[in-house]
Amino acid sequence: MTLNQDDERLESYLRQFRPHQPRPLPGRTSAMLLHGRGRTRVGAAAAIIVVSSLFLLLRKPVSPTHPSAANMQQKPSIAQAISLAQLSRAAQRDPAILDAELNSLSARLLPDVRSGHGILKSLARE
Amino acid sequence: MAAKLTYEDVRDLYQRHGPALLAYARSLLPDRGSAEDVLHQVFLGLLGKAELPAESRPYLFRAIRNGALNLRRSGTRMALLDEQQWLVKPQGMMDAGLEVERALRELPPEQREVVVMRVWGEMTMEEIQPCLMCRPIRRLPAIGMRWASCVRF
Q: Which of A19-28, B52-61, B79-88 has the lowest mean pLDDT?
A: B79-88
Tell whether ipTM is more than 0.95.
Answer: no
Whether B82 shows a pLDDT value over 60: the answer reads no
Instruction: Judge whether A32 is closer than 8 Å to chain B, CB to CB.
Output: yes
For residues B2 and B123, the model is more confident at B123
The rounded mean pLDDT for chain B is: 80
Whether B38 shows a pLDDT value over 90: the answer reads yes
Distance between B76 CA and the closest CA of chain A, angstroms: 22
B22 pLDDT tier (thresholds 50, 70, 90) = very high
What is the structure's pLDDT at A69? Answer: 55
Q: Evaluate whether B50 touches A36 at the Cβ level (below 8 Å).
A: no
What is the structure's pLDDT at B20? Answer: 95
CATH of B7-150, one of 3.30.1150, 1.10.1220, 1.20.120, 1.20.140: 1.20.140
pLDDT in tens, B136-153: 666 665 544 445 444 443
What is the structure's pLDDT at A22? Answer: 92
Q: For residues A94 and A82, what is the distance between their CA atoms, to the nearest angstrom?
A: 17
Instruction: Judge whether B86 is closer than 8 Å to chain A, CB to CB.
Output: yes
Whether A3 shows a pLDDT value over 70: the answer reads no
* Contact residues, chain A, for B47 at CB < 8 Å: 31-32, 35-36
Q: Which of A75-79, B70-74, B125-129, B131-135 has the lowest mean pLDDT?
A: A75-79
B109 pLDDT tier (thresholds 50, 70, 90) = confident
Give the CA radius of gyration of chain B. 16
Its pTM stands at 0.58
Test B119 with A31 for CB contact under 8 angstroms. Answer: no
Of residues B10, B32, B87, nearest to A17 (C-beta): B87
* Contact residues, chain B, for A13 at CB < 8 Å: 151, 153
* Contact residues, chain B, for A8 at CB < 8 Å: none
* Residue B99 CA neighbour count, 13 Å, CB half: 14
The rounded mean pLDDT for chain A is: 72
Test B22 with A35 for CB contact under 8 angstroms. Answer: no
Residue A122 CA: distances (Å) to CA of A5, A70, A72, A107, B111: 120, 30, 28, 18, 106
* Contact residues, chain A, for B145 at CB < 8 Å: none
Q: Which residue of A has its CA nearest to B99?
A: A14
What is the structure's pLDDT at A111? Answer: 67
What percent of chain A has pLDDT above 90? Answer: 7
